[in-house]
Structure 1
Amino acid sequence: MPEALKTYVRIVDAFNRRIGRIVMYGVFVLMGILLYSSISKNLFVPAHWTFEMAQFVMAGYYLLGGAYSLQLDSHVRMDLLYGRWSPRTKAMVDAVTILMLFVYLFFLLWGGVSSTNYALTYNETSYSAWSPYMAPVKIVMVVGIVLTFLQATSIFIKDLALAMGRPIA
């Protein structure tokens, strides 16, 4: 494999690993919001922002953590035959099937950019009592999709290298 592709793989993997390790602590932020929501409902006036904020934090959690999950190969896979195959056969099949992921991510990104553009242009807000601006969540969505696309490209390069018998370590 050309050195430029190996460098790309190293940079993308390192960046997504860092982002994933940081974002995984978002579950504690989510727990704090939900705990505050529970306490405020019983002791104070219920906070209108907690449910929607929990949804936003959860969306950021799984969108920004998606690339890291893909990197760790911890996503769900149907394993009827796959587990019996050699690493090289797995890499060949993965290199073909990841093309479907690229198509999916392309359309997801296209819709995400369009939705983010709308939110920024028209100062879109949520239809709730709290009525927060939607642009920050949509920007996080686009960033998460881009990171997942970059990670999928890195995995594609590694699979091609392994299928050709020259794995990238």
Structure 2
Amino acid sequence: MKVWNKVELGIDFVSECLGRIGWVLILFALVFGLSDVILRYIFGQPSLWISVTIQYSMVLLACVSGAYSLNKGSFVKLDVFYERFSPRIQAICDIITFVFAFMYLYVLITRGIEAAELSFIQQETTPTAVPIPLYHLKAIIPFGAFCVLLVVIKHFVQDIRTALGYENR
């Protein structure tokens, strides 16, 4: 169990780092979004690249924030019945939903890798006045899904331990 505790700490560390990257991306979008509005409406000089990079950062934010949000328990749940269950029954419900989460993440990772490979081969860029490479972004999508999978596996092991009565949630 000592090894698994270290694995859990590693997963927590990775998700925390991704959360901090998410905060930087939010600040980036805020600062550059405001500057784009100022450039456009006050100075009459719209930017060719700011709106595209903000969209890029929002996709990155979606990729990196999933593991952080799941690890912190920030996802929205339908707690109508779930909150009334005992911790053991909650863990059993979570074990059942793990199968669906795993299947979804497996498809996202495998198809994401295929899309990223194709994008790298084609050297895909944005179809705008300032061509920004997209292949880096497409490579981050399966990476983000893999990080979410790590958190899902961590929770799965905790749920198994709870369902078997080894520890409380």
TM-score, scaled to structure 1: 0.91
| Match of residue 147 from structure 2 | 147
Paired residues for 1:73-84 under 5 Å: 73-84=73-84
Paired residues for 1:32-71 under 5 Å: 32-42=31-41, 43-71=43-71
| Match of residue 6 from structure 1 | 5
Q: Which moved more, 1:37-46 or 1:151-160?
A: 37-46
Residue 157 of structure 1 pairs with residue 164 of structure 2: no
User: Over the residues paired in the alignment, what is the CA RMSD in angstroms?
Assistant: 1.7
In the alignment, the residues of structure 2 paired with residue 140 and residue 36 of structure 1 have an alpha-carbon distance, to the nearest angstrom, of 27
- Structure 1 segments, 4+ long, off by >6 Å, are none
Give unpaired runs (5+ residues) of structure 2: none
Residue 95 of structure 1 pairs with residue 57 of structure 2: no
| Match of residue 19 from structure 2 | 20
* Native 8 Å contact 2:126 2:134 kept in 1: yes
Q: Which moved more, 1:24-33 or 1:67-76?
A: 24-33
Q: Which moved more, 1:109-118 or 1:43-52?
A: 43-52
* Native 8 Å contact 2:40 2:47 kept in 1: yes
In the alignment, the residues of structure 2 paired with residue 165 and residue 8 of structure 1 have an alpha-carbon distance, to the nearest angstrom, of 21
Q: Which moved more, 1:136-145 or 1:104-113?
A: 136-145
Residue 129 of structure 1 pairs with residue 129 of structure 2: yes
Q: Could you give the per-residue CA deviations for residues 60-96 of structure 1, whole angstroms, max 9, x where no partner exists?
A: 1121011010011110111220010111111111011
In the alignment, the residues of structure 2 paired with residue 96 and residue 9 of structure 1 have an alpha-carbon distance, to the nearest angstrom, of 21
* Native 8 Å contact 2:87 2:168 kept in 1: no
TM-score, scaled to structure 2: 0.91
* Native 8 Å contact 1:34 1:54 kept in 2: yes
In the alignment, the residues of structure 1 paired with residue 161 and residue 11 of structure 2 have an alpha-carbon distance, to the nearest angstrom, of 16
Figure out how many residues of one structure are paired with residues of the other and give that number: 168
Highest RCO, 1 vs 2 (Cα 8 Å, sep ≥ 6): 1
> Cα gap change, 1:151/1:168 in structure 2, threshold over 3 Å: closer, same or farther?
farther
Q: Could you give the per-residue CA deviations for residues 89-130 of structure 1, whole angstroms, max 9, x where no partner exists?
A: 111110110210110011111121111101111111122222
Q: Which amino acid aligns with 2:161?
A: A
